[in-house]
Structure 1
């Protein structure tokens, strides 16, 4: 009898444990200016947003979705604002349109129509690590638009971002390794200044971008325009095979 009770208790505990450890699911979503009431009968800037939404455990999904939407909201900010106040993508996009209309009214002869392209894409997932690639490209006047690419590494069990020190064993050692790869790809001799071919590394010292991306096979670093080179040079990507980087990794 006691054995039966023990077995039933164990099954109950396992069931409760499985219920608590809910897995998250990710779906692809999209949004354009055509969904805005303000654009129904008037000319609007083109807005294209492709992103992901996380479902499953409410607490975890809320954290991850909050990070994704905050990136979208911030990307659509104009002027001197740096902290978004929008609560929805529709609200943030409406603010972008209103700013465009105000600028157009003030400068009716301004060349070029504003536009915004924003994307959040899942590029890697394991039981302990999800990596999102986040991109934005906006034109809000001037000679050209400006875009950035960065990454967010998330712990799917908590919804929190994984800091660099939990991804790599030793940042300094890995940076030394990455510099050799960078020099090889950019044809910069080891004894030559890192800026010897025209790069803009501060204090003439190599450093990695603030964010790092992961795929199944590669580790990706992107220097955006103006980070280490001119706008005309475009984004500069450093891609390192995971197999080569394994000695430096804590997680993948």
Structure 2
């Protein structure tokens, strides 16, 4: 059965405090998203890698992407991540079967280990719903009061931190996003959950970092430089 990676990359990355969109920030001499594509391109099970850009993206064509022969670009990005994913799925629906598996991955997770993607695919290929990479929460969690004092401590047992890729069938995920779009949909799994479905949790890695704030870029560089010593 076909597996396709889909990367929503239409955002501005405003929390990075830069005029350059986050996916194009320099990371070890390459744009950040280049490293993400490099990791995915090493997963033989992926038939293609699809990047969803903003229609007015002026950065993409400034770089050389020839290292990724299975790469496809769709300039159908929306105002939110969910809209970009849905638009990408709708465009793909005319090209690949409705039951194809789509692995939605954050463009700003450049430290993804290819073996984790293979593990996700192997675990979920026969699953009725799909699932996500995630890691159990290790830290003590505090609920804050409005004045930034601790209101209470929340038990961490059973809590997991969602990561990507998140793997669902094309038609199922598109249908979930079409019917469940809203501020409570913060990832693909939450759209599936809103339909009453229960995606599977597949153990990921703490090194699968999402670059969100400026200091994350330096940490991502350290992880990438450490290479296989950390990504296993």
TM over 0.5: no
TM range (shorter): under 0.3
Bigger relative CO (Cα 8 Å, ≥ 6 apart): 2
TM-score by length of 2: 0.25
Q: Larger C-alpha radius of gyration, 1 or 2? A: 1
